[in-house]
Structure 1
């Protein structure tokens, strides 16, 4: 029996995509030496759930449609996911390498450099996410028995281990000093870019996404029974992460750049915030206690979130070149307009390409991994 459609998954994709654009626009805004700390907090701190929540909904979508009592067809799974993720990843990576090589006059990378860029997802700054997702898919035979057997205590232990591992990876001085001081360039790259392919940094949010999908009836009952607690958890976790950011600025003398590179999604408060945001947005979009007219916008954002995620650095790059040529610095009002322009241009491009792709299916296949639906014979 087919499962019911869950609009919450699509809507969360849209919200997350908006958050990712905020993070990347925030990076441009921080080039202003007198950037507003509060706007930086909006761009860079409040949005920190955006990348890890993608792993949550990816796992949720996979396990929601898997029957754990039946054998898992690993080859079929990889074939489907390769079309949806690996193919667009390679196409977009080559697009950015060719485009940026021409635009910035750096040329196309040599074969060994190309292999490194593709392995680590460094062809463009947003593409590492797809590398992590690919590794999650490759390791799917590990996740299925874990999701099948894990219980509440196991999730709590995994949550604690996640915080400990992320803290070590991000903040252990001796470990990071060792990595940066390595003389072997190959080993140094594998450790320096560990955030780009070590799924261990996001294993908890992926596993709990799968767990809640498998136990969706209980999860739905929990959402309906504890809406106030869920909202409070989200608000408290956001306040905690923001408080940490402001404390770094006020009491430790951190720059805004240093503060956002510390109060991120892998710090302990960031892990808590990701969990809270995942449950909060799923609850909000499942219960839909808001004007229903918003659903059309949320659906539009969710439907085109993948393309927008992949294309938005293209528009950010060109708009920044125009501003730099005009000698314009991103002030707070201009940064907000810049953000909105990035969303609008990226979304318009997504709608246009999807529309063209309906007549030229190869375009949708290459850019989104989408195949044309089979025509039914009348």
Structure 2
């Protein structure tokens, strides 16, 4: 079983399209007549993307550290802090500097406030993902041992229990019925920002990535031999989450913002849709020729996924400011144009920064957590 393969790697590309879609969805709310279907497409049906990155991370880690092996914790942590911790801090500070420049006085540079923003991933709205990923790294020996325990006691039983525990935990976390104002400030912050740092919300997806890594050949054989069933499951979850969205939209008059907060990736609908999407995309990729133009584009996104992920909110903010300055009214066509423009600008920026990083290794280390091995990055 190879440590890397293009099926899993190319999931990054399809995930990046989803992440950008989620963020572009906010433009729909600025439209005089918001398109509910476009909003669902961008803000709801793209929600598979964030959990899918944890699936990819679980796959990568369990490829390197099989359950029967030993994890040398400090070397492991040092390597991960370089690959994720350094770019997280650097990009967080870059965004804080940017927001300070365009909105003077909006950022307090007191050390305590900066530490608060970094701990919870609040420097920019997309960076919380890296905080959760870092917590997965900090706690990885626990999940490594948990997988070994599942193997001893039965994988089917272990993952079935984890599946139901995940649904229960996510529901309780999203509907805790706790008044946080009664808690001490430290606990109040830990509670209010629980979605920004707790890896437990995505544990099943992360472990599923580990399952795909340890039993990769069986995993690919299963989804390809049951391709019709995978498609049916995907379509079912698509209608489940989409139907729930429109049901509450028409019958309960939920606003678009309430809808997206109700049917996000931690809801039952979102959780099942994420699992189905992962199986579906892996199955489709396994049956798609690598020379297919769409697959080549997705691979291009995959190769540039880290910088695309990190930089696209900067370009989105620039586009948003230009639209407001020019008095541009948001329509569905313009929002879709912004989406494709944002993808193009982000990919171009990644290619440019990658080439720059090949000439300046320290810059590459700061921006991506990696040093270029050759003249190409």
Tell me the TM-score normalized by structure 1: 0.94
Is 1:74–2:73 an aligned residue pair? yes
Q: Deviations over 1:308-357 (max 9, x none)?
A: 10000100111111111122232111100111111111111000000111
Q: Is the 8 A contact 2:52 2:274 kept in 1?
A: yes
Query: What are the within-5 Å matches in structure 2 for residues 353-372 of structure 1?
Result: 353-372=353-372
Instruction: Decide which of 153, 156, 167 is 2:157's aligned counterpart.
Output: 153
How many residue pairs were aligned? 370
Is 1:93–2:92 an aligned residue pair? yes
Query: Displacement of 1:109 after TM fit?
Result: 2.6
Structure 1 partner of 2:12 = 13
Query: What are the within-5 Å matches in structure 2 for residues 112-191 of structure 1?
Result: 112-150=112-150, 151-172=155-176, 174-175=177-178, 178-179=179-180, 181-182=181-182, 184-191=184-191
Query: Displacement of 1:49 after TM fit?
Result: 0.3
Structure 2 partner of 1:109 = 109
Tell me the TM-score normalized by structure 2: 0.94
- For structure 1, the 5+ residue unaligned runs are none
Comparing 301-310 with 359-368, which one deviates more in the overlay? 359-368
Is 1:27–2:29 an aligned residue pair? no
CA distance in 2, matches of 1:29, 1:315: 17
Query: What are the within-5 Å matches in structure 2 for residues 185-264 of structure 1?
Result: 185-264=185-264
Q: Is the 8 A contact 1:98 1:108 kept in 2?
A: no
Q: Is the 8 A contact 1:63 1:213 kept in 2?
A: yes
What is the SS of the residue equivalent to 2:262?
coil
CA distance in 2, matches of 1:264, 1:5: 30
CA distance in 1, matches of 2:373, 2:90: 22
What is the SS of the residue equivalent to 1:260?
helix
- For structure 2, the 5+ residue unaligned runs are none
Q: Is the 8 A contact 1:13 1:302 kept in 2?
A: yes
Structure 1 vs Structure 2 CA RMSD: 1.7
Query: Displacement of 1:291 after TM fit?
Result: 6.3
Query: Displacement of 1:202 after TM fit?
Result: 0.7
Query: Displacement of 1:66 after TM fit?
Result: 2.4
CA distance in 2, matches of 1:187, 1:142: 24
